[in-house]
Amino acid sequence: MPNKTLADTEYNQFKHFLEQQSGIVLGDNKQYLVRSRLSPLMAKFNCDTMTQLVKLAMGSSDRQLRVEVIDAMTTNETLWFRDKFPFELMANIILPEYAAVGRPIKIWSAACSSGQEPYSLAMTLLEFQQKRPNSLAGTSIVATDLSPTMLERCRVAEYDPLALARGLTEEHKRQFFEPVANQKSMKVKDNVKRLVTFKPLNLLESYASLGKFDVIFCRNVLIYFAPEAKSKILRQFAAALNPNGVLFLGASESLAGLSDDFDMIRCNPGIYYRKR
């Protein structure tokens, strides 16, 4: 029977490896998380023990093994229109601001997981354009993630009933989704999908290839990074934003002690950050 235990020394080595590769910081005594995420890979890579799998990933020249291990450890859960207020602020403040100056905007959904955030942004844009026809034509959304598995799921854009129940109204489903033949799943309609381009990106690496943005969503992501990595990411976000560009973070995340590049804009409800 496969041995899924991981000694403290090996766990600490793996923690260091994961942080170096992805920026993700595992807490102490999270061996259970490593076991649950990596167990399915043991048979695939012919490993009898978790120790063997982890050591191969850390030292192997087998890129596929390394990618799949990091992929499994960095896959996060998400939902549609998470926390609501960022999307309401987009609809009520940010999109009207750019529509008033008559130019399209470029939006980045960083660490997009399985696609709910960028597609929620696309739906927000389409609803805005229904009320204000011909506004913000040419607006685009770039969505990035470290995980190849997540990016492929995003591009397919099919969601099962459990995923569909998390944050979507019946009106959203009626307007922006269509049934998948012979299944209970639904897929995002083409007019929504066309607005979003998915690309692989490690947030610890350069963003130069993405170009400049007017709005960046990076929500409930920084909590997984060490302070030094958070500061680096925030500096790079500031450099990637156009003048007066906007940054949205998660409800529990803060820039305090990490960045002086942004002003906090308090709203009711919620907050966002404006590049200085």
Q: What is the CATH number of the domain that holds 151?
A: 3.40.50.150
Q: What is the mean pLDDT of residues 216-241?
A: 91
**Residue 112 covered by a domain:** yes
**Is pLDDT above 60 for 1?**
no
- The verdict on residue 155 lying in a domain is yes
Q: Model confidence at 141, in pLDDT bands (50, 70, 90)?
A: very high
pLDDT at residue 60, as a whole number: 64
Give the domain-ending residue among 20, 42, 73.
73
**Do 132 and 31 sit in the same domain of this protein?**
no
Please report, rounded to a whole number, the percentage of residues in the chain having pLDDT higher than 90.
54
Same domain, 68 and 110: no
Domain match, 182 and 64 both: no
**In a shared domain, residues 114 and 60:** no
Output phi, psi for 226, to 5 deg.
-70, 155
Higher pLDDT, 78 or 189: 189
pLDDT range class, residue 119, cuts 50, 70, 90: very high
Quick one: pLDDT band at residue 212, thresholds 50, 70, 90?
Answer: very high
83 or 141, greater pLDDT: 141
Range of the domain at 169: 85-275
| CATH number of the structural domain spanning residue 60 | 1.10.155
Pairing, β 262-266 against β 158-159: unpaired
Tell whether the model's pLDDT for residue 242 goes beyond 90. yes
Give the number of other Cβ atoms within 10 Å of residue 25's Cβ. Answer: 15
Domain boundary among the residues 51, 73, 95 is at 73
For residue 75, the model assigns a pLDDT of: 65
Question: 79 in a domain, yes or no?
Answer: no
Tell me: pLDDT of 174 over 80. yes
Q: 122 and 206: one domain?
A: yes
Tell me, what's the pLDDT at 246?
Answer: 97
Instruction: State whether 245 and 125 are in the same domain.
Output: yes
Residues 48 and 98 in one domain: no
Domains contained in the chain, number: 2
Do 91 and 44 sit in the same domain of this protein?
A: no
Average pLDDT, the chain: 89
pLDDT of residue 105 exceeding 80: yes
What pLDDT is recorded for position 55? 86
pLDDT score of 91 more than 80: yes
Calculate mean pLDDT across residues 20-28.
Answer: 77
Does 245 score more than 60 pLDDT?
Answer: yes
The answer on pLDDT for 29 being more than 90 is no
Examine residue 131 and state whether it is found in any structural domain, yes or no. Answer: yes
Task: Please tell me whether residues 167 and 188 are part of one structural domain.
Answer: yes
